[in-house]
Amino acid sequence: MNRPVLTRPTDYLLVDISNSYAKFAFASTKRISTPVRIATNKLSGSVFSRFLGQRRVRKIVVSSVVPKKNRTISKAAGKTGVLWLNSTVKLGVGIDYPDPETIGADRLANAAAVTALYGCPAIVVDFGTAVTFDIVSARRNYIGGVIAPGLEAITNFLSCADPGGAVSERKASRGGHRRLRATHRSAVAGDHGSPCAPHSGGATDYGQSQFVIVR
């Protein structure tokens, strides 16, 4: 007779779905396992179910900026509760920002994490498909930030600025342009009709802020 496979219990399965990659990690209130990463376009119900089946979890916590993948997670979760990270969740940090519902889940997660781990005021820099800068004030409130072009967009810009240089020989991945379009509306890139348009900007002094880089 075959014995049932026993899975290790844990408190949470953390899920981070970004434009480029989906990351999974099991976590307790004290530890987080090494994350597993797959391309977001490869994320399916069967893939998620296999990962979820590795351990018994009390709750799935999801930070997603790809709405079309949310139904996949909800369906594969079955009877396991899912907590969707958004501006209505108590994160240990306030929100002093117009239209809080428009803030990306990933940016809220960064704000909550930096406040819990390092205190505030703080600035979080997250390098992903785009590079985001998010600010938590001394009053423990998320007050907004900036979305800037990611590495691929910057590489394309340099290709325009120096068409005869070595940078122009680097070709973007086929999927890269699609991901960049997804973040184009929010990007503060100084794009005035041309990817090579000049851009000028300013900086604000936030005093003794923590400056945290998320890799």
Q: Which residues are annotated as catalytic?
A: 106
- Rounded CA gap, 172 and 155, in Å? 9
Q: Find, among 34, 18, 30, the residue nearest to 67 by Cα.
A: 18
The DSSP secondary-structure symbol of 174 reads T
What tokens were used for 108? 């809220």
SS3 78: coil
Question: Which residues lie closer than 8 Å to 161 by C-beta, 6 or more apart?
Answer: 196
Q: Note whether 211 and 118 are within 8 A (CB).
A: no
